[in-house]
Amino acid sequence: MQDAVSRATEAEVLRALHSDRPGLAGLAALLSPAAEPHLAAMAKRSGVITSQRFGRTMQMYAPVYLSSFCANRCAYCGFSADNTIDRRVLTFAEAESEAMILHQRGFSHLLLVSGEAPAKVGVDYLEELALRLRDRFAALSIEVQPLATEEYARLFRAGITSVAVYQETYDRDIYKQVHLAGRKADFDYRLETPARAAAAGMREVGIGALLGLADWRAEGLALGLHLAWLRKHYWRTGLTVSFPRMRPAQGEFKPLAPVSERNLSQMIFALRMFDPDVGLYLSTREEARYRDGMIGLGPTRYSAGSCTAPGGYGLENAGGEQFEVGDNRSLAEVSAAIQKKGFDPVRKDWDAVFQTKEDRQQAA
């Protein structure tokens, strides 16, 4: 399939651009060099599809970093065990305080994030924290170390409804090159994680690739393949894709395959046309100027006022951030930019009352 990307013709691009369901061959064409002259048309088509499926809305969320401890040695990450940084794990009281600061700022959707150190932030910790927060937030998501199916089921019962786990790169050789030690070095175990989360009953599962490690066109095609497989086998689970583009971080790792804003845009538009129903995230990794320009063209989820250091919302100089944020605007400022484009920043679009009887029985 990767050959289809490099060999795609303009005719194949135009056919995919005007197709309701371009399929994998169409996705390859839309990711190809031949599609670059048609980026404006792709943006327009992507915007139309997004409006049809999601209306003129943008879901808002914020991350809460729980711990900067990590047992993995990843060449690109600020939390890597090799890096000398201030590390901490939040107590339950501190984590609650961070969450409530965001609640007071207007957030109803929280993403709980930690480095991959199960001895510091394991299932027991996540379960207890979810039980403390679930009645105060519309939705709780996690981005932590990969877990077993029964562990995800346990967290679902505690109030976690969504899991994000990024493969980082789908290129096995590069994956081995940048994951030097730790559980994360197991490519296959990580690749199978979204399926385990879906099998556990999670309402939503998110995937993604860290852009800057491998060829972005190949990563885009791999994401499409992974997405299609999950759709086929776990059709009841909502699916999302994130596009984390490499940011400056401790360790000063340089991108192996730099990705431009234009490249990122093409990837987002291509995946929107490939899967009209997938939720697409555009986080504060990106600059405010770029995020404002992408409103209405494909992404459906925006973060705001983010801090990537544990305790960073309550402490001015928390230190130990995972990476530098590109857009430092508050929720109010990002919401104003969204409204200026004629869209509605949605702070709550889910409630437990929407669960089906079968969902409630599974969570019991």
Q: Is residue 203 in some structural domain?
A: yes
Give tens-digit pLDDT for 106-161. Answer: 999 999 999 999 999 999 999 999 999 999 999 999 999 999 999 999 999 999 99
Instruction: Answer yes or no: is pLDDT of 350 > 60.
Output: no
Can you give the pLDDT at residue 10?
A: 96
Q: Is residue 30 in some structural domain?
A: no
Q: Is residue 284 in some structural domain?
A: yes
Report which of 278, 283, 305 is spatially closest to residue 294, judged by C-alpha positions: 283
C-alpha dihedral (25, 31, 32, 37), degrees to nearest 10: 120
Q: Is residue 32 in some structural domain?
A: no
Instruction: Answer yes or no: is pLDDT of 299 > 70.
Output: yes
Q: Is residue 279 in some structural domain?
A: yes
Q: Is residue 172 in some structural domain?
A: yes
Q: Is residue 344 in some structural domain?
A: yes
Work out how many domains the chain is built from and give that number.
Answer: 1
CATH of the domain at 162: 3.20.20.70
Give tens-digit pLDDT for 248-275. Answer: 766 578 899 999 999 999 999 999 999 9
Q: Please give the DSSP secondary-structure letter assigned to residue 211.
A: B
Give tens-digit pLDDT for 208-217. Answer: 999 999 999 9
Please tell me the pTM assigned to this model. 0.92
Q: Is residue 11 in some structural domain?
A: no
Separation between Cα atoms, residue 22 and residue 35, nearest integer Å: 14
Domain range holding 126? 40-363
